[in-house]
Amino acid sequence: MPARHLIIGAGTAGLNAIRTIREEDGGASEITLVAAERPYSRMVLPYYLDRSIAESHVFTATAATLANWKVKTHIGKKAASLNAQGNTLTLDDGATIEYDDCLVATGSRAIRPSIPGADLPGVHSFWTLEQAREVIAGIAPGSHVVMVGAGFIAFTILNSILSLGAKLTIVEIAPRILPRMVDERGALLVDAWLRKHGVRILTGVALTRIEAARGKRRLRFRKGETLLADLVIMATGIKPNLDWLEGSGIRMNHGILVDDHLRSSAPNVYAGGDVAEGKDGVTGAPVVHAIEPTAMEHGRVVGANMAGRDVAYRGSLNMNIVEVCRLDVASFGAWDDPNAEAFTGLRPERSAYRKLCWSGDRLTGAIIIGQAADVWTTNDVGMLKGLVHAGVRLGAWKEHLRRHPFDVKPAFIASRTTEALLPQTILGRPSRTPELPATVIR
């Protein structure tokens, strides 16, 4: 069994892999961690932005935890090139590290359109802790914030921006908001809800340049009015951090192509999280799901395999869940499959919408939108996710849902979805605390 494990990246995938190796081997192997940043969770940055949590709460594994897990660390160092034949990694300071097996978990980074002014002071991304600090320093009550892009990440920070007392305008090049998360009907509902809550939204507008304008930023578009902003946030997409692997021979498409054990084309090099292009659990197609649950599951599976177990991954579930101004918006699985049979339900008076997509009598995708104050909305988010995830056959309940798309609970209970999901664990066993020798645990 390999004795020298190298983990590149200290985000969700990297840390879950380390923890799982230690759950399995109790400290027997050598683990080296290389990470450009100190370990923290990107997902909690919106709560840091609105000051619900202090900066100290964004950090995940402390130096003490990593020492307890017997991990050698190179924090603040970047992987620069991988020699997959020679089993060595070269860092940005020229140092080299030898490994028996390694995990590439370098996540992704925010990208901006290449327009003049995209790098001006006052124009920010919101992906890293450093960028979050810059945004916090730039926003004050009454600031006019222009968010460029109306996708999932923009929506994760929307509440925080409003709660800081800023005025928010969202500009989106697509004809509607959330183009990759909900369908057109759903988007219209969310759009109307946000406008009612004071958010200005401009869709179908192409940003062509940003200029400095006496302490502010002026945004120019292909057509129409210009906008004057105190602060601009570019939520215009992300890209996996793969450039440093050029020339390594590792097979890549949108991400690193991995098999069902999350091995890349080099069998002792694994990939997980935002950089990995692995199996979608519903469609079976290779896909990059740049979301937290996939990174966590990838990390667990890779860790177990590195520790010598033989764990195949069932595939990840596409899911996006966000709450904006007390409206829950969620989509799961293959919600946008144009070939799927689909039922929809709309209750405009409650700002509620459902779309259920089917393959035979199995639910393969769903969209759910509804007010968080309507108790059934939050419950149904969980139940619809469970139904898509479990892929149970719903038999006659399919017809019930066709007639009553808002009445999910009886179908969920009758199909025994909880019983189908409960025994399923990623590693085929319950989670446990890493048990290290007494000399190591303080």
Ligand X SMILES: Cc1cc2nc3c(=O)[nH]c(=O)nc-3n(C[C@H](O)[C@H](O)[C@H](O)COP(=O)(O)OP(=O)(O)OC[C@H]3O[C@@H](n4cnc5c(N)ncnc54)[C@H](O)[C@@H]3O)c2cc1C
Binding site for ligand X (CB under 6 A): 8-14, 34-37, 42-43, 45-46, 78-79, 105-107, 126-127, 153, 156-157, 241, 244, 273-274, 290-293, 295
Q: Are 124 and 131 in contact (CB under 8 A)?
A: yes
Measured from the CB of residue 156, what is the shortest distance to ligand X in angstroms?
A: 4
Q: Which is nearer to ligand X, 153 or 383 (CB)?
A: 153
Q: Which is nearer to ligand X, 11 or 303 (CB)?
A: 11
As a whole number of angstroms, the distance between CA 70 and CA 27 comes to: 7
Q: Which is nearer to ligand X, 292 or 361 (CB)?
A: 292
- For 218-254, give the DSSP string: EEEESSS--EEESEEEE---EEES-GGGTTS---BSS
Measured from the CB of residue 21, what is the shortest distance to ligand X in angstroms?
A: 15
As a whole number of angstroms, the distance between CA 203 and CA 108 comes to: 26
As a whole number of angstroms, the distance between CA 239 and CA 255 comes to: 9
One-letter amino acid for residue 435 of the chain? E
Measured from the CB of residue 319, what is the shortest distance to ligand X in angstroms?
A: 7
Q: Tokens 């925080």 correspond to what residue?
A: 160
Measured from the CB of residue 60, what is the shortest distance to ligand X in angstroms?
A: 9
Q: Which is nearer to ligand X, 18 or 356 (CB)?
A: 18
As a whole number of angstroms, the distance between CA 103 and CA 95 comes to: 18
Q: Which is nearer to ligand X, 42 or 355 (CB)?
A: 42
Measured from the CB of residue 293, what is the shortest distance to ligand X in angstroms?
A: 6
Q: Which is nearer to ligand X, 132 or 205 (CB)?
A: 132
Q: Which is nearer to ligand X, 150 or 291 (CB)?
A: 291
Measured from the CB of residue 65, what is the shortest distance to ligand X in angstroms?
A: 15
Measured from the CB of residue 7, what is the shortest distance to ligand X in angstroms?
A: 10
Measured from the CB of residue 10, what is the shortest distance to ligand X in angstroms?
A: 4
Q: Which is nearer to ligand X, 9 or 315 (CB)?
A: 9
User: CB neighbours (10 Å) of residue 419?
Assistant: 10
Which of 230, 197, 199 is CA-nearest to residue 213? 230
Measured from the CB of residue 142, what is the shortest distance to ligand X in angstroms?
A: 23
- For 128-173, give the DSSP string: SHHHHHHHHHH--TT-EEEEE--SHHHHHHHHHHHHTT-EEEEEES
Q: Is 352 exposed, middle or buried (0-12, 13-18, 19+ CB in 10 A)?
A: buried
Q: Which is nearer to ligand X, 74 or 217 (CB)?
A: 74
One-letter amino acid for residue 9 of the chain? G
Q: What is the dihedral of CA 292, 297, 300, 305, to 10 degrees?
A: -130
Measured from the CB of residue 149, what is the shortest distance to ligand X in angstroms?
A: 13
Q: Are 119 and 111 in contact (CB under 8 A)?
A: no
As a whole number of angstroms, the distance between CA 376 and CA 357 comes to: 20
Q: Which is nearer to ligand X, 316 or 415 (CB)?
A: 316
Q: 352 - beta bridge partners?
A: 347
Q: What is the dihedral of CA 263, 264, 270, 273, to 10 degrees?
A: -100
Alpha helices in 267-374 (DSSP H): 292-306
